[in-house]
Amino acid sequence: MIVGERKPFDEITGMLNGYKKVLILGCGTCVSVCMAGGAKEVAVLASQLRMDSGIQEKGVEIGEETIQRQCDREYIEPIVEMAKTYDVVLSMACGAGVQLLSDMLVPTPVLPALNTSFIGICEEEGVWAERCRGCGDCMLGITGGICPVARCAKTLFNGPCGGSVNGICEVSKDTPCAWQLVYDRLKALGKLESLEEIQPIRDWGPSSSGIPRGVYREDMAGVAVESEGSSK
């Protein structure tokens, strides 16, 4: 899932300075699961902002709403007219949700209430960890399901480096060496021999180092338009 964290309260109130009618819009998918931007977090932030408005005598009106996803048009469309009755929309989605919402709500401004952290997993209650950088060329099949792009500080493809000491990365004593994890996993899988294969220089073309990436599915793109046309 996309993991996010709510921005500091002072930063949020700073962004909202001058607006009198604010809609807080939650997202019911990733950031809801990581307890940063779902319905409950919307209720908490709304309550805090109402109290702040009362104490500072700002007279701000706060609206609350949560939709299933802010990264899909079909979920935003039903709330567009309602959202445009506000001076500003404070989105509690990830950066993708904020951007699509901004596109669809012009001229109503959309502000981010979260910082988008990473694509990751929940390790235990209250602890999330990065697992994927979305590099576009997955090599988990040859590393036993441990990603060296996301989890090795040097993004090595033929590790470990000399900085791996007792299974710990030299960059941080709290970070396990990804390549030690790869070794241990491949050993457990009985596939250690795959480490003998030298990985070639990586083509970073599919990664995020260039222009914004996109996925085009020939079998799907335009299908909705075609079916709409045929039903008329």
Partner 1 sequence: MTDTYEPKVIAFCCHYCTYSAADLAGSMRLEYAPNIRVVKLMCTGKVDVPLLLRAFEDGADAAFVGG
Among 38-46, 66-74, 151-159, 198-206, the segment contacting partner 1 (CB under 8 A) = 38-46
Among 40, 187, 191, 213, which residue sits at the site for partner 1 (rule: CB under 8 A)?
Answer: 40
Among 43, 122, 142, 156, binds partner 1 (CB under 8 A): 43
Smallest gap, in angstroms, from Cβ of residue 187 to partner 1? Answer: 44
Which x/- pattern, by CB under 8 A, does the window 179-218 give for partner 1? ----------------------------------------
**Exactly one of 8, 9, 14, 47 binds partner 1 (CB under 8 A); which one?**
47
Among 8, 11, 21, 51, binds partner 1 (CB under 8 A): 51
The two tokens of residue 8 are 């500091």
Token digits of residue 157: 């493809």
Tally: H helices and E strands in the chain:
9, 7
Q: Which of 9, 11, 44, 68 binds partner 1 (CB under 8 A)?
A: 44
E strand or H helix at 112, and its extent?
strand 110-112
CA distance 33 to 21: 28
DSSP characters over 41-80 = HHHHHHHHHHHHHHHHT---EEEEEEES-SSSHHHHGGGH
Which one-letter DSSP state was computed for residue 92?
Answer: -
Q: Using CB under 8 A as the criterion, which residues of the chain lie in contact with partner 1 when the complex forms? A: 40, 43-44, 47-48, 50-51, 54
